[in-house]
Structure formats: C-alpha cells, structure tokens
Amino acid sequence: MPIQEAIDRLKVEAKQEMGAYKSLQAIENNTFRIVFERGTVVARLQLDRSGRIAELSFENPEKF
C-alpha cells in the first residue's frame, strides 16, 4: 500500500475512534504524541538521507 494511501486511511480511522485532531507534541528525537479529542497515539518517524519518510510506526492508541 502506498504511504499516502496508508496515511489517509489512518486519518479516517483515527477520527472515527478518537475524534478530531488537536495537536502534535514532540516527546523525544523522532517520537511524537498525536493528540485527538478522545485519545492519543505515539508515532515514531525515521527519515532517509534525502529527508523522505523511511519508516513510520504507531503504538496502540490510548483512549480517554
């Protein structure tokens, strides 16, 4: 699955489960917390030498 298609699908699923996107918080190097109305997801991002996404992973969401 192309990366853009995967990201678009993830955005739709996340909004259905956790509500609208609120913010992005840097946790540490290449690790971020994505905050939604009803939960958060930790994401890890690795770029290649050209600055393109080489790896993108998500932990299980924490709902509240």
Distance CA 24, CA 22 (A): 7
Instruction: Give residue 33's pLDDT.
Output: 96
What is the reported pLDDT for 49? 96
> Running DSSP on this structure, what letter comes out for residue 20?
S
For residue 10, what are its two tokens? 């993830």
Other CB atoms within 10 Å distance of the CB of residue 43? 17
pTM of the model: 0.79
Structure tokens at 60: 């299980």
- At residue 8 the predicted structure's pLDDT band, cuts being 50, 70 and 90, is confident
CA angle 12, 49, 1 (to 5 degrees): 30
pLDDT digits (tens, 9 = 90+) for 14-44: 899 999 999 999 999 999 999 999 999 999 9
Alpha helices in the chain (DSSP H): 3-18
The domain segmentation of the chain, as residue ranges, is 3-63
